[in-house]
Structure 1
Amino acid sequence: MASALDPSVPNYADHVFEGVLTRRVAAFLIDYAIVGLLLIPAWVILFVFSILTLGLGFMLFPVSFFIVAGLYFAFTLGSEAQATPGMRVMDLVMARDDGRRMDFGTAMVHVLAFWIINSLLTPFLLLIGLFTERRRLIHDMVLGTYMVRASATGY
């Protein structure tokens, strides 16, 4: 039996990649709302740490977002679900060209590449997905990953 990701399956682009970019933006918003909520306890811990270190811990506040968000995405995207909670809500999973599962390291590099490319090309980062095979963004192409609808692929 052919896989849902096999181009020989009729309408494979229509049902596997249908609405991926729109769903990806919505998942992004959900995930960053969760990261925002996770920052609250992180900042409380940093505040206490800063008092204990006579103010040295305050230097971690500017990078606390990147630490919390990086760990959030690496642990959730590299999990068994192959998706962040926002991606799960939007029926998305991340797949790799080589067929292997996402791991912590690849997920961490994926989010770092997203932040670097997004800081250089905003909002053009999303526009490229309108013109690429599998609706891939630049960092997806570089890392050999792509997003698919979970319900359409059996993930």
Structure 2
Amino acid sequence: MLRRAAAYLIDLFIIGALITSITIVGVVVGFLTFGLAWGALLLVLPISVVMYYGATLGSFKRATLGMQMMDIVLTPTRGQPLDGWLAIIHALVFWVTIWISWPVSLLFVLFTPRQQMIHDLIVGTLMLRRSPMARHWARSQAGSTSY
């Protein structure tokens, strides 16, 4: 859980930098367009956050930049592939459950057998350490040589 919390804080910092840079560009463009572009910031900022999660969690690494630094990976539990849409849904459900009731979401970790939060249970995902999984994948691929 500590790795997950640290990854969350790193991602908040990265998202904050992303939002700040987009806002600065939007303000400058807004002045150049006499304020017409400022309305677009209301759409561009949330879309950029959703795209961050879709591009990072939906990639082959299955982890945001903060999760990569903390050596954790998002894994589906129901057998479906982890694509960009599932990653976006995971992020949206995460932000909704944290916004509504973050203490309850954090308490779920203590009482679920695989230490899943509410949004993990809803979407059907699990956070795991990447390094033990990489060793397991290497062993399973070495043992299953097909001709």
TM-score, normalised with respect to structure 2? 0.82
**Deviations along 1:31-64, whole A, 9 cap, x unmatched?**
1111111123211221233234431322344555
Equivalent residue number for residue 62 of structure 2: 82
* 3-state SS of 1:37 partner: helix
1:22 maps to 2:16: no
Higher relative contact order (CA 8 A, sep 6+): 1
Aligned residues: 135
1:69 alignment partner, one of 30, 49, 58: 49
1:135 alignment partner, one of 92, 115, 136: 115
- 2: CA distance between counterparts of 1:57 and 1:47? 8
TM-score, normalised with respect to structure 1? 0.78
Quick check: 65-74 or 138-147, which moved more?
65-74
Kindly indicate whether the alpha-carbon contact (under 8 Å) linking 1:73 and 1:107 is maintained by their aligned counterparts in 2: yes
Determine what percentage of the aligned residue pairs are the same residue. Answer: 37
The amino acid of 2:3's aligned partner reads R
Shift of 1:131: 0.7
Kindly indicate whether the alpha-carbon contact (under 8 Å) linking 1:78 and 1:102 is maintained by their aligned counterparts in 2: yes
- 2: CA distance between counterparts of 1:57 and 1:133? 49
Kindly indicate whether the alpha-carbon contact (under 8 Å) linking 2:22 and 2:45 is maintained by their aligned counterparts in 1: no
Shift of 1:86: 0.6
- 2: CA distance between counterparts of 1:64 and 1:31? 18
Shift of 1:127: 1.5
Quick check: 110-119 or 42-51, which moved more?
42-51
* Larger helix proportion of the pair: 2
Kindly indicate whether the alpha-carbon contact (under 8 Å) linking 2:11 and 2:66 is maintained by their aligned counterparts in 1: yes
Can you give the 5+ residue segments of structure 1 that lack an aligned partner in the other structure? 1-20
- 2: CA distance between counterparts of 1:49 and 1:74? 26
Shift of 1:105: 0.6
Equivalent residue number for residue 32 of structure 1: 12
Can you give the 5+ residue segments of structure 2 that lack an aligned partner in the other structure? 138-147
- 2: CA distance between counterparts of 1:43 and 1:82? 28
For the aligned residues, what is the CA RMSD?
A: 1.8
Shift of 1:78: 0.4
- 2: CA distance between counterparts of 1:68 and 1:123? 27
